[in-house]
Amino acid sequence: QVQLQESGPGLVKPSETLSLTCTVSGGFINSFYWSWIRQSPGEGLEWIGYISDRGSTNYNPSLRSRLTLSVDTSNNQFSLKLSSVTAADTAVYYCARDLITFGVRHWFDPWGQGHLVTVSS
Amino acid sequence: DIQMTQSPSFVSASVGDRVTITCRASRDISTWLAWYQQKPGKAPKLLIYGASTLQSGVPSRFSGSGSGTDFTLTISSLQPEDFATYYCQQANSFPPFTFGPGTKVDCK
């Protein structure tokens, strides 16, 4: 059974870059798409973006200018970098596998346990 | 972006009750809607996708219906483990995929 685990700093200073990695176990990263989703009390669930095993990406337009997703198939990991963070980026960040139906419809299952990132000086 | 709304925001119910939650999209999304269940401190779990397809392993007391802009999630007989927050998500038009604000099912 596929499991996902987020890792990275829990505290990031304003204007710096937030970096997280998701490690996939119990299965291979190949042949799937992988998403990042965040949840903050004020904004609910927000889809950040996805990346395929081949590195194809699709970003939330609201974050596109600050966001970079990457994949490392040799280590069964994918990563997120969000630059110029502010307090509004404080959230629990989840990684998830995309379940795709009819070729283009993305649902998210399973999810990692989530990783709280606080942006504060 | 497609905006998703849910009603009610809170439901107080008892074990054995039939519970219905509504999700509305700001424009037609056909049947490209999913429902998730989230318990405190845990990640969301996919229950239903394609408006009515039950994800593997999800109990049959959960069902989904609807198309276009109006959708419902029904729990036919609420069980103790079903007290949680439920979210809908549209996959018709992206980026971005968008979620509803959630409906919390509480114990009466």
pLDDT at B69 (0 to 100): 98
CB within 8 Å: A49 and B49: no
Q: Are B32 and A47 inside 8 Å of each other by CB?
A: no
The token duo for A81 is 């970098």
Residue-level pLDDT at A100: 86
- The answer to whether the CB atoms of B95 and A61 lie below 8 A apart is yes
pLDDT at A43: 72
Give the pLDDT of residue B57: 96
What does the pLDDT read at residue A62?
97
Residue A103: per-residue pLDDT: 80
Residues in chain A closer than 8 A to B87 (CB atoms): 44-45
| Residue-level pLDDT at A44 | 87
Beta-carbon contacts of A42 under 8 Å, excluding residues fewer than 6 positions away, are none
Nearest CA of chain B to the CA of A46: how many Å?
7
Which residues on A lie below 8 Å from B99 (Cβ)? 44-47
pLDDT reported for residue A104: 84
Average pLDDT over residues B26-48: 97
- Mean pLDDT across the stretch B16-34? 97
**CB–CB contact A47 B97 (8 Å):** yes
Question: What pLDDT is stored for residue B40 in this prediction?
Answer: 93
Q: Chain A contact for B97, CB < 8 A?
A: yes
Read off the pLDDT band of B11 (50, 70, 90). very high
What distances in angstroms separate CA B32 from CA A92, A111, B71, B75, one per listed residue? 26, 20, 10, 20
Q: Does A103 contact chain B (CB < 8 Å)? A: no
- CB of B86 within 8 Å of any CB in chain A? no
What mean pLDDT, rounded, does chain B reach? 97
What's the pLDDT at A86? 97
- From CA B75, how far away is CA B18, in angstroms rounded? 6
Q: Of A47, A101, A100, A96, which Cα lies nearest the Cα of B98?
A: A47
Residues of chain A with pLDDT under 50: none
